[in-house]
């Protein structure tokens, strides 16, 4: 029996769902974008030389005393409020004691049973537009650890490395950990709910401007807990069935991986259970390339971190007035904002949903703000750019082009200076780092040919090459002109002014149309 679980046999997903009911729990860590660390004045910029952003406090030197970053606390409270949580009137930090080489104090300053925010919820929108409520257990403040760099091995992992270096720049960066209550009732949509939750949370945090929430760079990290319980005979009795043992898949760092890892764990756990085995409570690692999880370390609920209240920091007691003041700074809730934008932009429900699922709402908003029409902005971001992003397996927002550049590109199209084909070439240049669209157009010589001489010759050649089509147009089927325009476009590598080509075709073959 155990052999099966070791070899990660999986059960067909649909069959797994027929027999079991999945329960999820998501733990999301967000790095705040404060200028300085949580308990000292060290800078937080990403990518600095190792160990240049450190001081006695974040290095844990004896006698150094931490002081709480006010902006960090403010962000924590605003996140709590935005997640419909209660805010603690009084709470403390706690020391979570464990040894890890990149954790200089040998404990992490965190919060334990007194989180700053608790008991909230986040309504998330699923792909078909339905809303699912995810309940939030707590959001608490803590600090990040440093980073180890393993040198000399082939993989960059500790196994096989000759030695390890530690960079403490990240030690003490403010983190907020947001933990859901067990998510039940999602059924076969559990993977989708998990992804939609992380996506909605990211959107909310971005709107709050408290973090840059880049999953790929680790400023937002997700641990996915999942378990299965037997399906009850009557759906209404499902809530009474005891939860199964959970696994915790660590650091699942893209929306797509969140969805895939849940789906995989459901299939894997189902296979173990069907075979009569039992699930080991453990951490697991997600492998993006193979799409599977593998065993990490056993983790019991009784893991003893010897938590105790942090004696070097004063308790936090935000006044009700201050909390209300912070509530006043909350942004328009993202879902409402999307509905408002949908109205302003004149998009259908489906168009708006596609935009949201593609992560393109902000991009379109910024493109419209830079002067493009909503229709054109949507077309670029969900068309050509989505295609390229998908090809390069990159999130849309990471494409090296700004909304302002897209707006400029579109204005060149609107002014008749670029055809669609030329515009795509100009975009290619922008993405290749050749500058703004206008610079690319200049440098690459991307100009529309609207000169009648050159166009007329190409039109004549197209007519000659397509006598059948020409006859149709002569007979009054003007719609057939499209084929000739296409032929001219092809010959001129997309540089021809299509409107002028149409006129020239009609002039030659159906002049009566002009009258």
Angle (nearest 5°) at CA 250 between 185 and 269: 50
The least distance separating ligand ADP from the CB of residue 228, rounded to whole angstroms, comes to: 8
| 396 DSSP assignment | G
The nearest distance, CB 108 to Zn ion, in angstroms, is 15
Q: 92 or 105, CB closer to Zn ion?
A: 105
For the bound state, the minimum distance from the C-beta of residue 138 to ligand ADP, rounded and expressed in Å, comes to 8
DSSP bridge partners of 87: 117
Quick one: 260 exposed, middle or buried, by C-beta within 10 A (0-12, 13-18, 19+)? buried
Q: Which is nearer to ligand ADP, 5 or 169 (CB)?
A: 5
Q: Compute the Cα dihedral for 238, 242, 244, 248 and give only its sign.
A: positive
Find the binder of ligand ADP among 37, 105, 221, 246 (CB under 6 A): 246
3-state secondary structure 131-184: EEEEEEEEEEEEECCCEEEEECCCCCCCCCCCEEEEECCCCCCEEEEEEECCEC
Q: Cβ distance 183 to 262 under 8 Å?
A: no
Choose from Zn ion, ligand ADP, Mg ion, none: what does 42 bind? Cβ within 5-8 Å by kind.
Answer: Zn ion
Stretch that binds ligand ADP, among 110-118, 141-149, 240-248, 354-362 (CB under 6 A): 240-248
Task: State which residue, 24 or 377, has the beta carbon closest to ligand ADP.
Answer: 24
The binder of 25, among Zn ion, ligand ADP, Mg ion, none, by C-beta within 5 to 8 A per type, is: ligand ADP
Residue 44 DSSP code:
-
The CA-CA-CA angle for residues 451, 457, 462, to 5°, reads 120
182 near ligand ADP (CB under 6 A): yes
In the bound state with Zn ion, the residue whose beta carbon lies nearer, of 11 and 40, is: 40
Angle between helix axes 384-391 and 420-431 (nearest 10 degrees) is: 40
Tell me which of Zn ion, Mg ion, ligand ADP, none is bound by residue 58, counting a contact when its beta carbon lies within the kind-specific cut-off of 5 to 8 angstroms. Zn ion
Cβ-based nearer residue to ligand ADP, 136 or 480: 136
CB of 120 to ligand ADP, least distance (A): 13
Cα 31 off chain centre by: 15
Binding segment (CB under 5 A) for Mg ion, from list 27-35, 333-341, 377-385, 444-452? 27-35
**Restricting to residues 30-89, which ones interact with Zn ion according to CB under 5 A?**
40, 42, 55, 57-58
Report CA Rg, the chain. Answer: 29
Q: Which is nearer to ligand ADP, 248 or 384 (CB)?
A: 248
Binding of ligand ADP by 230 (CB under 6 A): no
How many other C-beta atoms lie within 10 A of the C-beta of residue 129?
Answer: 11
DSSP assignment letter at 49? P
From CA 287, how far away is CA 281, in angstroms rounded?
A: 19
Q: Rounded to whole angstroms, how far apart are CA atoms 255 and 363?
A: 18
268 touches ligand ADP by CB under 6 A: no
Q: Does 25 bind ligand ADP (CB under 6 A)?
A: yes
| 409 sits in which H/E element | helix 403-414
If the CB atoms of residues 49 and 303 are measured against Mg ion, the closer one turns out to be: 303
Binding region for ligand ADP (CB under 6 A) out of 67-75, 173-181, 336-344, 361-369: 173-181
CB-based closest residue to ligand ADP: 25
Query: Of 258 and 448, which has the nearer Cβ to Mg ion?
Result: 258
The encoded tokens of residue 356 equal 């949201």
Applying CB under 5 A, which residues contact Zn ion?
Answer: 40, 42, 55, 57-58
Applying CB under 6 A, which residues contact ligand ADP?
Answer: 23-27, 137, 179-182, 225-227, 243, 246, 248
Applying CB under 5 A, which residues contact Mg ion?
Answer: 27
């Amino acid at each position: 029996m155990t052999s099966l679980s070791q070899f990660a046999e999986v059960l067909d997903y649909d069959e797994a769902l027929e027999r079991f009911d999945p329960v999820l729990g998501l733990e999301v860590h967000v790095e705040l974008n404060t200028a300085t660390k949580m308990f000292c004045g060290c800078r937080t910029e990403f990518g600095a030389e190792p160990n240049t952003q450190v001081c006695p406090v974040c290095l844990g030197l004896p006698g150094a005393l931490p002081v709480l970053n006010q902006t960090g606390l403010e962000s924590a409270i605003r996140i709590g409020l935005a997640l419909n949580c209660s805010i603690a009137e009084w709470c403390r930090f706690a020391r979570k004691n464990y040894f890890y080489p990149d954790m200089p104090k040998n404990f992490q300053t965190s919060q334990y049973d007194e989180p700053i925010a608790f008991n909230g919820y986040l309504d998330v929108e699923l792909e078909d537009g339905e809303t699912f409520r995810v309940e939030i257990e707590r959001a608490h403040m803590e600090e990040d650890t440093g980073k180890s760099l393993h040198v000399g091995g082939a993989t960059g992992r500790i196994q096989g490395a000759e030695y390890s270096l530690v960079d403490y720049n990240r030690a003490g960066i403010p983190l907020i950990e947001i933990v859901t209550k067990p998510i039940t009732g999602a059924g076969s949509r559990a993977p989708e709910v998990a992804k939609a939750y992380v996506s909605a949370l990211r959107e909310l945090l971005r709107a709050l401007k408290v973090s840059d929430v880049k999953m790929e760079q680790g400023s937002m990290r997700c641990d996915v807990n999942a378990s299965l319980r037997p399906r009850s005979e009557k759906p209404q009795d499902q809530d009474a069935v005891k939860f199964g043992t959970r696994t915790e898949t660590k650091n699942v760092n893209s929306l797509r991986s969140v969805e895939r890892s849940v789906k995989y764990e459901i299939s894997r756990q189902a296979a173990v259970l069907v075979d009569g085995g039992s699930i080991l409570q453990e951490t697991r690692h997600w492998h993006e390339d193979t799409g599977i999880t593998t065993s990490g370390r056993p983790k019991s609920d009784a893991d003893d971190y010897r938590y105790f209240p942090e004696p070097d920091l004063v308790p936090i007691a935000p006044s009700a007035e201050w909390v209300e003041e912070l509530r006043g700074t909350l942004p328009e809730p993202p879902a409402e904002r999307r509905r408002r934008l949908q109205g302003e932009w004149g998009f259908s429900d489906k168009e708006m949903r596609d935009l949201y699922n593609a992560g393109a709402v902000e991009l379109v908003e910024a493109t419209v703000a830079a002067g493009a029409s909503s229709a054109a902005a949507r077309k670029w971001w969900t068309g050509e750019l989505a295609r390229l992003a998908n090809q390069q397996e990159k999130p849309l927002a990471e494409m090296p082009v700004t909304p302002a550049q897209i707006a400029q590109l579109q204005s060149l199209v609107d002014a008749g200076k670029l055809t669609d084909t030329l515009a795509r070439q100009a975009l290619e240049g922008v993405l290749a780092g050749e500058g703004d669209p206008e610079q690319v157009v200049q440098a690459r010589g991307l100009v529309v040919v609207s000169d009648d001489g050159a166009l007329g010759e190409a039109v004549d050649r197209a007519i000659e090459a397509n006598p059948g089509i020409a006859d149709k147009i002569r007979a009054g089927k003007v719609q057939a002109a499209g084929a000739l325009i296409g032929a001219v476009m092809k010959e001129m590598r997309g540089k021809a002014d299509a409107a002028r080509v149409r006129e020239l075709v009609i002039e030659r073959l159906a002049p009566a149309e002009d009258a």
